[in-house]
């Protein structure tokens, strides 16, 4: 569909996490305005949240929309892992009168945004210079743990979609072995997301309490962070140190798997709140602590994403690509043995 049509603008963009949904209007290519963050808990459905946003933004007519969502996508029906919303993409599109409604994984959207993020919205944490034409890795703890990547493709980039946050956690020392045993006894499989997420901060703290024979306090993630950062609670401080160390190990694994010599990017809502502590934490040491591959990793830069709404440019790029006019496929005029051409073989 040509972007020159009157209905092409504005376009609705969304970035839906487990706790909050961020919506915006793209009023012209790359011009993103009217950004609002809404709490998922306030709305029975995604449709309700979208209607409220459009009313608040005063958007009379939107034809095209795209939303990054913190969830696997497999067909029309979506049941969110860390939110109560369940919906049909097509039914939502029809109910809101959209011509287009695209959904993509939120970390795929964030990966697509990486080349578009201003350098001023990236904080570098060690490493050398990024290598051009090399993969970019992305990992980020928030309500869950997102993982994605960009790989060079046909003069541009292609984003990888997956569920790398659910890979198995491997402890690296005796303290972490104790954490693994505690979490395994409660949940069976211990994924990285169990520990590298908001609820993971609370779970880590509970595990350390149990290992120390102390009462297991039910602290919210924000309270664990606040006590740890202030230095008033040694166990909360250790929780943050272990959290950052585990993230370093997971990010190093991802960099090795992808050959991400273009850089590793840290997204999600948790790490930016640890600014000042994170840079001095065990993160970088654990990132590079891979035996014979340590020198390889020491060369790879890590960037902490500090943008307020970093995924929205990636959502916009995905929607623009979908709406871009396509050149018609060339007709194969090769003569076939029975006569005629490939173009009329269906007759």
**17's tokens:** 């996490």
Per DSSP, the three-state class of 250 is helix
Q: What percent of the chain has pLDDT over 90?
A: 80
Distance CA 88, CA 79 (A): 9
Burial of 241 per CB tally in 10 Å (0-12, 13-18, 19+):
middle
Q: Annotated binding site for ATP: which residue ranges? A: 14-19
- Which pTM value belongs to this model? 0.86
**174's tokens:** 């005796």
35 phi, psi to nearest 5 deg = -80, 130
Each residue's pLDDT tens digit, 64-107: 999 999 888 989 999 998 899 999 999 999 999 999 999 999 99
Each residue's pLDDT tens digit, 312-323: 999 999 999 999
The closest of 189, 219, 193 to 207, measured between CA atoms, is 219
pLDDT band at residue 5 under the 50/70/90 scheme: low
Q: Is the pLDDT of residue 338 over 60?
A: no
CB 97 within 8 A of CB 215: no
Q: Is the pLDDT of residue 200 over 60?
A: yes
Alpha-helix runs per DSSP H in the chain: 46-57, 89-96, 106-113, 174-187, 192-195, 198-211, 221-230, 234-258, 283-288, 294-298, 312-323
Q: Annotated binding site: which residue ranges? A: 14-19
Q: Is the pLDDT of residue 344 over 60?
A: no
The average confidence (pLDDT) of the chain is 91
């Amino acid at each position: 569909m040509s972007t020159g049509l009157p209905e092409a603008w504005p376009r609705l963009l969304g970035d839906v996490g487990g706790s909050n949904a961020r919506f915006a209007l793209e009023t012209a290519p790359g011009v993103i305005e009217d950004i609002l963050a809404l709490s998922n808990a306030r709305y029975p459905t995604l449709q309700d949240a979208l209607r409220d946003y459009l009313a608040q933004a005063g958007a009379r007519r939107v034809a095209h929309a795209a939303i990054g969502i913190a969830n696997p996508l497999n067909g029309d029906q979506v049941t969110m892992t860390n939110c109560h919303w369940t919906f049909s993409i097509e039914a939502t599109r029809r109910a809101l009168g959209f011509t287009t409604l695209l959904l993509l994984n939120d970390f795929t959207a964030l990966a697509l945004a990486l080349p578009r993020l201003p350098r001023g919205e990236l904080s570098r944490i060690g490493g050398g210079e990024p290598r051009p034409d090399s993969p970019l890795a992305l990992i980020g703890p928030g309500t869950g743990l997102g993982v994605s990547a960009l790989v060079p493709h046909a003069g541009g980039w292609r984003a990888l979609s997956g569920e790398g946050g659910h890979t198995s956690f491997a402890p690296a020392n005796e303290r972490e072995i104790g954490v693994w045993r505690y979490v395994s006894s409660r949940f069976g499989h211990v994924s990285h997301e169990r520990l590298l997420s908001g609820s993971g901060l609370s779970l880590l703290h509970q595990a350390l309490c149990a290992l120390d024979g102390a009462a297991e306090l039910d602290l919210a993630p924000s309270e664990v962070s606040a006590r740890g950062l202030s230095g008033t609670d040694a166990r909360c401080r250790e929780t943050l140190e272990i959290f950052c160390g585990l993230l370093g190990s997971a990010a190093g694994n991802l960099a090795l798997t992808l050959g991400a010599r273009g850089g590793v990017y840290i997204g999600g809502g948790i790490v930016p709140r640890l600014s000042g502590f994170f840079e001095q934490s065990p993160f970088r040491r654990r990132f590079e602590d891979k035996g014979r591959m340590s020198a390889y990793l020491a060369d790879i830069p890590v960037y902490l994403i500090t943008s307020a709404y970093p995924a929205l440019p990636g959502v916009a790029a995905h929607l623009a690509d979908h709406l871009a006019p396509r050149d018609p496929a060339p007709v194969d005029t090769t003569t076939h043995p029975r006569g005629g051409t490939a173009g009329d073989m269906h007759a």
